[in-house]
Chain A
Amino acid sequence: MSKHHLGEFEEVVMLTVAILSGKAYGIAIIDELETRLNRKVSIGALQTVLRRLEKKGYLSSELGEATQERGGKRKRFFKATNYGIQILEETKKQRMSLWNAIPNLSFNS
């Protein structure tokens, strides 16, 4: 499993894409991250991660319809693939197993 390791930002982006279910494109993801996590993200940083995740096969994407907005440019909508979801769940499981392994004591001290 160590081969499929998600970085923190990668994980956050994947989760956001999953939240937006089908409406996840560049600016929407950035907005979502800002409102939910109060985290400012540049287009460059986000796009790099998106392309990387797509190349790894965790995300898939397709271009939307052209509209009057955005200077007539189409949006690219991202979607988590089954494989991506599986990885997300595994990541979650790993985190949980780590959480569960913490003895209660440590919180008290």
Chain B
Amino acid sequence: MATQKSQLPKPPRWIHAFFRLFCHPDYLEDIEGDLYERFERNLGADGRKKAKWRYLLDVIQLFRPGIIRSIEGNYHLNYYGMFKTFLKSGWRSFVKYKVNSLINVFGLSIGIAATLLLYLIIDFEQSYDKFHAESENIYRLADKKPDGNLSTLVVTPLLPNLKKDYPEIVAGTRFYDSEDIFTFGEEGMYLSFGVVDPDFSSIFSFQTIHGDLEYGLSEPGKIVITQEVSQKLFNFKNPVGEVLTMKELEMDLIIEAVVKNPPSNSTIQFDALVSWPSSPNVLDEDQMGNWYNTFMTAYVKLASNVSSVTLEEKTASFTDQYYLPDRKSNLVTFLPLEKEHARISQNDSTTKVLGIIAFAILLISCINFINLSISQWLTRTREIGVRKVLGSYKTQLVFQFLVEGFFTTGVSVIFALMIVYSILPAVNNYYNLGIQLDMVNNLSSIFFIVLVCFLVGMISSITTALVMANVQVIKSLKEKIKWSGSGQWLQKGLIIFQFGISLVFIAGTMVIWKQIDYMKSYDLNFKGENIVSIFAYSGYFKDPEKAEQHLQRLRESLPNKAAIEEISLSQNVPGKYWDNYNWFANLDSNGVDGLSLKQITVDHNYFDLLDIKIIHGRSFSDSIKSDEKRLIINEKAMKLYGWTDLENKFLKPGGWGDGAEEWEVIGVVEDYHYRSLKESVEPLVHFYSSTTTNRLLAKLNPTMYQEGIQILEESWQELGAYQPFKYNFVDEEFNQLYKTHERMGMTTMTFSGIAVIIALLGLFSITTFMMRQRKKEIGVRKVMGATVLNIIMLVSKSFIMLIGIAFLISIPIIYFLSKEFLAEFTYQMELSPAIFMLSGGILFLLALLVISWQSLKVASNNPVNSLTDE
């Protein structure tokens, strides 16, 4: 019998397997039976082949929605219900403690928003120059002095010779940053342009819109403009082939290509590019562009397997062969372009600080979240107890905490995104950034958001869960659980931590502002008040020669008016000095052979107008014609040359050819600060020229400066300029040098504020919960005769202790960080204990305010209310 059965054909196995695969498990057995029964019957009636076909047909007809198993599986039905009650009870407790819940969400969302914003800023700062293909192989050339000082300004012949001698350099371009008026027909535009080598197009990846960039840079008489310039001058027409005239040099240039504007995260910025072959002749190697005069930048691309460090070591022989005597021990160094922005802007420390702040704020909001969640859960211990009695597993309870935690986090993240979205434009504006938050380009940011959300939710909920899920059932049902045990210690620790961070923030902000204040009020050894500076670059004027003469006449005529005391024409003004320097040989037998000096050209009124003291010799005079061949140096230069007096002291500028003879030094000025106080005063030389007109300085009569400015504006109109009248006060302009630090101060201030607010919100919330729990106790105390003040003292005591501990812990941290910050400055303020005391005092007062606000409410309550209510 059994053997006979096994010989019977069976339904095709694969069809059977397919059926088992899709069929709902609850229906499987009996339908399988039906199928088999039918198959057997068909086998008897129609034969094997037909039966198999029928079987297949039946199975196919069973493949329909009512029969197919559901995708999610079938065993989690119970969990839906649980999930629902989690959300429901979560929502109920949210609504019951509205204020606390809102504080929780609010605190978390500003925390996340602040972090996100800082992340975006940091991310943008780090994205600089990474858009070039092979950006990791692009370097900027710099001169490295033996003492480690860097100068990114190099001499004209450096790059061509380097390229010739070192095959490791794949491509290289000089970049001489210049400015001029360009005219097209009647229209004139002031453009900043780079004079570059043809390799420019192969090193950098600026996108070409029209024309051919490579060709445009390879031949003389060509120019490349940016899209913005093209739109302004030619609307939206393709300008390739049009001719622009460079005003000052009277040069006609044919537009060969249009490139996209350099993005805001590019170190190299320009309105136009002019090829080296068509450069002004000052750049020719045999004229000014020699091994002496240092005024341009250069970029190279190295082969990808070349290390910039080894190449730098190799250049020792190069500098030894080509460089000037005092520069022979210099090295040519290669600065990675990707890191240039951080180096130039000195934003590295700012970025680091921002990163720390971001992390700290996130931490504070996390802590707040944990603290508040624990407080909130303490009022729900009965719920936990009941759940446990009814058979809830510990894991299920933890899951409940997670669900609620993620719910709150999710809402906060949405709020945070809205906040970031709405203030991003203002932030961009303030920091001069071009951050865009869109979902296509910012994948990393989105990933970050998700990660933050996940982490915050996870960490906070797990911590809460670990504390709360251990609640003992009987205890939780019988009595109210007090703020005690491990939860209390955790909360106390978190409060200390939170306030410690807040203290560091407050003190840090104070240190930054005080340092800025210190620099602003520092005696710069010149006086910039009431002095107006006007940029009168000759290229500004329709007829430069006439304007120059006119300006010189103004120097004589304007001081006749009561509103203007003195006029000076100079190349530049403190705070705006160029970084160019030259070699000056010492012809005196004493002292060093020579020095590289920073240089500036001034007129005879300059020192008097700026109140710069002459400590040796005399100032320039317009009545002595030969002063045009004389020099005034600063104290530092005199010291470095090793001179004690000015008798027969002559200097010889390097690289000026035969025209340069000996220049007599006739005066020494006190070291005035012509650059930011971050740097010390470097040796400086002043040339005299009565015809320099780059900048007009006017000392105004402080009582009539409105009139003074009006007079200046009228005079400006007579000059016939392309540009409208624009002026700055010299002292204000100098303070602009501290703008980045002011920004940093503003930033830390804002975010410290946020951190403190979050911390205080947390404190507020915790006191609320605590007071609610101690309502009865306080009622009894009042009945027994305690005063309101007694009760406030009682409640505040523990918190004040915590803040005291936080204060003690934060002092060394503040001290260390402040030292670190101040190390950046040559001129530092002194760290006084007042800063610590003040920041501690502020926080202390704020905390006391928050605590007593809450406790006052409870303490002034009639004890009858709290004692009768059960």
Which A residues are closer than 8 A to B by beta carbons?
25-27, 42-45, 47-49, 51-52, 63, 69-71, 73-76
Contact = CB atoms under 8 A, between A and B. Distances in A.
Task: List the 4 shortest-distance A-B pairs measured between CB atoms, nearest first.
Answer: A73-B33, A44-B61, A76-B30, A48-B66
B29 A63 contact: yes
Contacts of B34: 25-27, 43, 47, 70, 75
A58 B253 CA distance: 92
B66 A69 contact: no
B37 A52 contact: no
A75 B33 contact: yes
Contact of B64 (A44, A70, A71, A74): A44
B62 interface: yes
Nearest to B61: A44
B29 A43 contact: no
A27 B29 CA distance: 14
Contacts of A71: 32-33, 36
A45 B61 contact: yes
Nearest to A72: B33
B38 to A, nearest CB: 6
Contacts of A26: 30-31, 33-34
A43 B30 contact: no
A47 B27 contact: yes
Contacts of B67: 44, 47-48, 51
Q: Among B38, B60, B63, which residue has the most Cβ atoms of chain A within 10 A? A: B38
Contact of B33 (A45, A49, A51, A70): A70
B38 A48 contact: no
Secondary structure at the B interface, as helix, strand, loop or mixed, is helix
B37 A51 contact: no
Interface in B25-79: 27, 29-38, 40, 57-58, 60-67
A40 to B, nearest CB: 11
Secondary structure at the A interface, as helix, strand, loop or mixed, is helix
Contacts of B38: 27, 43
A108 to B, nearest CB: 44
Nearest to A26: B34
Contact of A43 (B35, B40, B65): B35
22 contacts: A26-B30, A42-B58, A43-B31, A43-B58, A43-B62, A44-B58, A44-B62, A44-B64, A44-B67, A47-B27, A47-B31, A47-B66, A47-B67, A48-B66, A48-B67, A51-B27, A51-B67, A70-B33, A70-B37, A71-B32, A74-B30, A75-B34
Contact of A69 (B30, B37, B62): B37
Contacts of B62: 42-44, 47
Nearest to B41: A27
A74 B61 contact: no
B174 to A, nearest CB: 81
A44 B58 CA distance: 7
A63 B36 contact: no
Contacts of A44: 58, 60-64, 67
A27 to B, nearest CB: 5
B580 to A, nearest CB: 89
B63 to A, nearest CB: 7
Given A47-B67, A70-B33, 4 more contacts: A48-B66, A52-B66, A70-B40, A74-B33
Contact of A70 (B36, B60, B66): B36
A25 to B, nearest CB: 7
Contacts of A48: 64-67
A49 B67 CA distance: 10
B36 A43 contact: no
Interface string B9-34: 00000000000000000010111111
B615 to A, nearest CB: 103
Contacts of B64: 44, 48
Contacts of A47: 27, 31, 34, 62, 66-67
A74 B58 CA distance: 19
B36 A73 contact: yes
A44 to B, nearest CB: 3
B430 to A, nearest CB: 63
Contacts of B57: 42
